[in-house]
Amino acid sequence: MPAANAMVLGCRVDAVNTQAAVRTIVELAREPEPSIVVTLGTEMIVRAQRDHAFRAVVNASALSLCDTIGVLYAARAQGAPIPERVTGVDLMEPLCRTLAWEGLSVYLLGAKGDTAARAGQVLAARNSGLVIAGARDGYFSPDEDAAVAEQIRRSGARVVLAGLGSPRQELWLAANLKATGAAVGIGVGGSFDILAGDVARAPELWRKLNLEWFYRLVSEPQRWRRQLALPAFVLLALRERIVGERKRAA
């Protein structure tokens, strides 16, 4: 686990850049015990305030990556040296390049229909030698969990990319990763939709201006309810900061 990290509203965020995250994941992929990697977003932290089981999964992860700009600012406001955002979709390319070199295979679990399979084809085409052990959609019932884990186990995958949306992907990995036989499970949200070209990502300029959240709100207005997590997060983070400063002053 990386040395420096921050606690944002009770959730651990690790101070690593993309390169260090990839290095750690490859090391974890060689370990006998399974590890979970989370890409920690604003909505997840808001959920963790009321869902303590979910918070425990986040904090028990081997690596908790800073997924959103809100989390980045809140962690930096505490003086934590978080170098950059490491989103699931940004992680995927450099990770798959390294997994290809290292001969570690990957399974893509999540999204609708054949999206995960198509995302796998894109990753394999861009990263020569990458072994896609398998792929399947993320629309199955809890009764099928064991069968899905068994499918992954039979594929021999070392790394499971779980794009089931949060909190389902983290909870699924916490309950089922061991049975898959894979060494690492990473929650990657809607990354397969983007890789397969089904959903457009915010243009680079919007991302540079830290406005990806606003682009998503405009392009997928049906998400507005979920995006209420953002102002809730800002208020909670401010309150945490003020309370912290008062305690230090007392």
In three state form, how does the secondary structure of 14-74 look? Answer: ECCCHHHHHHHHHHHCCCCCCEEEEEECHHHHHHHHHCHHHHHHHHHCCEEEECCHHHHHH
Q: Which residue is nearest to ligand UDP (CB)?
A: 138
**How far apart are CB 30 and ligand UDP at their closest, in Å?**
28
Encoding tokens for residue 241? 């900061």
**How far apart are CB 211 and ligand UDP at their closest, in Å?**
16
CB distance 156 to 26 below 8 Å = no
**How far apart are CB 98 and ligand UDP at their closest, in Å?**
22
- Residue 75 makes CB contacts below 8 A (sequence gap 6+) with 6, 8, 13, 15, 66, 82
Four-point Cα dihedral 114, 182, 2, 127, nearest 10: -50
Give 31 or 144: the residue with its C-beta nearer to ligand UDP.
144
* Residues at the site binding ligand UDP, with contacts judged by CB under 6 A: 110-112, 138-139, 163-166, 168, 189-190, 192-193
Give 14 or 43: the residue with its C-beta nearer to ligand UDP.
43
Give 68 or 98: the residue with its C-beta nearer to ligand UDP.
68
**How far apart are CB 189 and ligand UDP at their closest, in Å?**
2
CB atoms inside a 10 Å sphere around CB 200: 10
**How far apart are CB 33 and ligand UDP at their closest, in Å?**
26
Compute the distance between CA of residue 150 and CA of residue 176 in angstroms, rounded to an integer. 10
Give 207 or 240: the residue with its C-beta nearer to ligand UDP.
207
CB distance 162 to 147 below 8 Å = no
Encoding tokens for residue 48? 């963790």
Give 10 or 165: the residue with its C-beta nearer to ligand UDP.
165
**How far apart are CB 138 and ligand UDP at their closest, in Å?**
2
In the chain, how long is the greatest CA-to-CA distance?
59
Give 61 or 104: the residue with its C-beta nearer to ligand UDP.
61
